[in-house]
Amino acid sequence: MQNQFSRTQMLLGAEAMEKLKTAHVAIFGIGGVGGYVVEALARAGVGHFSLIDDDVVCLTNINRQIMATIKTVGHPKVEVAKERVLSINSHAEVETYKTFFLPDTKDQFDFTKWDYVVDAVDTVTAKLLIIEESKKAGVPVISCMGCGNRMDPSKLEITDVYKTVKDPLSKVMRRELKKRGIKKCTVLYSTETALSPIDDPEISCREHCVCPPNSPRSCNDRRAIPASTPFVPPAAGIMIASKVATDIIGFDHEAREKQDLETKLKKRELFRAGRALREKLEKA
Per-residue pLDDT of 195-206, as tens digits, reads: 999 988 888 777
Question: 3-class SS at 96?
Answer: strand
Task: Report the distance separating Cα 41 and Cα 46, nearest Å.
Answer: 6
If you average pLDDT over every residue of the chain, what do you get? 94
Higher per-residue confidence, 175 vs 261 = 175
Lowest mean pLDDT among 77-86, 167-176, 252-261: 252-261
pLDDT at 273: 83
Q: What φ, ψ does residue 254 adopt, rounded to 5°?
A: -65, -40
pLDDT category of residue 175 using cuts at 50, 70 and 90: very high
The sign of the dihedral angle between the CA atoms of 32, 35, 39, 40 is: positive
Lowest mean pLDDT among 85-99, 131-145, 256-270: 256-270
pLDDT at 260: 87
Q: So where are the chain's domains?
A: 6-251, 253-284
Cα angle 229-76-208, degrees, rounded to a multiple of 5: 55
Topology of the domain comprising 6-251 = Rossmann fold (3.40.50)
Q: Could you count the other beta carbons within 10 Å of the beta carbon of residue 150?
A: 24
As a whole-number percent, the residues of the chain with pLDDT over 70 amount to 98
Task: Report the distance separating Cα 245 and Cα 19, nearest Å.
Answer: 9
Asked if the model's pLDDT at residue 220 lies above 70, the reply is: no
Q: Could you count the other beta carbons within 10 Å of the beta carbon of residue 191?
A: 15
Asked if the model's pLDDT at residue 42 lies above 80, the reply is: yes
Please report which helix (H) or strand (E) contains residue 233, including its range: helix 232-249
Question: 3-class SS at 264?
Answer: helix
Higher per-residue confidence, 262 vs 161 = 161
DSSP designation for 194: P
